[in-house]
Copies of this chain bind each other. A is one copy, B any other.
Amino acid sequence: MRVLVVEDYEVLARSIGTGLRREGMAVDVVLDGNEALDHLSTTRYDVVVLDRDLPGTHGDEVCRQITAQRRDSRVLMLTASVTVKDRVEGLGLGADDYLPKPFDFSELVARVRALGRRAQPATPPTLRAADLTLDPSRRVAFRAGQRLELSPKEFALLECLLASGDRVVSSEELLERVWDEAADPFTTAVKTTMRRLRAKLGDPPVIETVREGGYRIGVPG
């Protein structure tokens, strides 16, 4: 779990950082609001532990920007004040939880953990054609319900073809998209990999060859 700690009192900040790391979390520590927004613009955090009373950009403002931009980060706000008014305001700003100072460290841990349970990103769709199924995120492919054991290049090749629908894909394009390195134009890589892929796909053939053109998914005719 990735956590960002934003706290201007350096001794406290470091201590929180070390403590959370000891609990197995990946922690970054920053000392002011601007630095926080900096980190947040480049890195995904599960939880942000945010001191409300920050010099420079105030904690409230940081919180507002977090909830505006990165909805996948939860905010635990630390505050020195304990009045009801403050607590309500904090929640109103989009903080997901708050903790009045001084706090017990075990309580901080418990709250960060609770916030860290977050939804996972949506799974991208699976590709289908003929009796083929390919799931890029799970890296599995099936033919007629039978799982295929494909090597990385074979998998990428099939994925590229499936993603192109029933369009003809030239060898040059396949080379560029699957190999993406500085491609020797005279390489036999596509040819060789295609052969092995076809062998694993079995009968009847599903990859059609278009002479002088390239390859296409689907039964001929």
The stretch of A56-64, A109-117, A199-207 in contact with B is A109-117
Is A184 positioned at the interface, with any CB of B under 8 Å from its CB? no
Q: Once the chains are docked, how many angstroms separate the CA of A220 from the CA of B179?
A: 26
Which residues of B sit under 8 angstroms from A2, Cβ to Cβ? Answer: 176-177, 180
Chain A 69-112, CB within 8 Å of chain B: the 1/0 string? 00000000000000011011001100011000011101100110
A191 within 8 A of B: no
B155 adjacent to A24 (CB under 8 Å): yes
Q: Among A110, A120, A137, find the residue whose CB has the most chain B CB atoms closer than 10 A.
A: A137
Closest chain B residue to A208, Cβ basis: B139
For this chain, the copies found in one complex come to 2
Q: Measured between alpha carbons, how far is A22 from B122 in the docked complex, in Å?
A: 25
Q: Is A26 in contact with chain B by the CB < 8 A criterion?
A: yes
Contact of A87 among B25, B104, B180 (CB under 8 A): B104
A167–B120 CA distance with the chains assembled, in angstroms: 11
Query: Which residue numbers of A lie inside 8 Å of B, CB to CB?
Result: 1-2, 21-28, 39, 43-44, 84-85, 87-88, 91-92, 96-97, 102-104, 106-107, 110-111, 113-114, 116-123, 125, 136-139, 147, 151-153, 155-156, 159, 163-168, 176-181, 210-213, 216, 220-221
Q: Can you list 14 A-B pairs with a CB-CB distance of less than 8 A? A: A2-B176, A24-B139, A24-B153, A25-B156, A27-B180, A87-B104, A88-B106, A91-B113, A116-B136, A117-B122, A120-B123, A120-B165, A137-B168, A139-B213
